[in-house]
Amino acid sequence: MPQHTFTVNGERVTVDVADDVRLLWVLRDVLKITGPKYGCGINVCKACTSHVNGKAFNPCSVPVSDLGPDDEVTTIEGLPDTVDAELHPMQEAWLERDVAQCGYCQPGQIMAAVALVKKVRAEGRSITDADLDGIRNICRCGTYTRIREAIREGASRM
């Protein structure tokens, strides 16, 4: 079985798994990192949103062989460590607004939100309604309004 080495949440891992297994299943079924959720498996629902080298991506659509030893994957579990805190400011904002209902989509929502704030910052601007409208992550409980409020709140603290 081929070996794949990369970094997950600050820890270097090597997994024995076929090249074409998508990263979501390597994380969940092999490494038992269950924060990223399955909601569609075809990069539509965004419930598995995590970060690769600091940017948002969906591991359900990335063969593990696409990752190299220099790639750093961050899941919701590793998010607080990226700011050396107990919780990331976006997670704090999520708690303050009591966003989650069932909670299933929320790890992906938070990871998408953090990447979005970083992206618009890199473009030298702040979050607009159009940015929020463009978020594809599904929340079947319909917490969207609180998500929008929390992203703005979290952005102000990042």
Residue 101 touching other proteins (CB under 8 A): yes
Three-state secondary structure string covering 52-96: ECCEEECHHHCEHHHCCCCCEEECHHHCHHHHCCCCCHHHHHHHH
3, 42, 68, 70: which one binds other proteins (CB under 8 A): 42
Residue number, 13 or 30, with CB nearest to other proteins:
30
Residue 120 touching other proteins (CB under 8 A): no
Residue number, 12 or 137, with CB nearest to other proteins:
137
List the interface residues with other proteins, window 78-97 (CB under 8 A).
80, 87, 91, 94-95
98, 125, 126, 156: which one binds other proteins (CB under 8 A): 98
Residue 138 touching other proteins (CB under 8 A): yes
The helix/strand/coil state of 155 is helix
> In whole angstroms, what is the distance from residue 150 CA to residue 94 CA?
6
The β-bridge relationship of strands 72-74 and 50-52 is antiparallel
List the interface residues with other proteins, window 43-72 (CB under 8 A).
43-45, 47, 52, 55-63, 66
Residue number, 18 or 126, with CB nearest to other proteins:
18
Cβ proximity of 47 and 111 under 8 Å: no
Cβ proximity of 125 and 33 under 8 Å: no
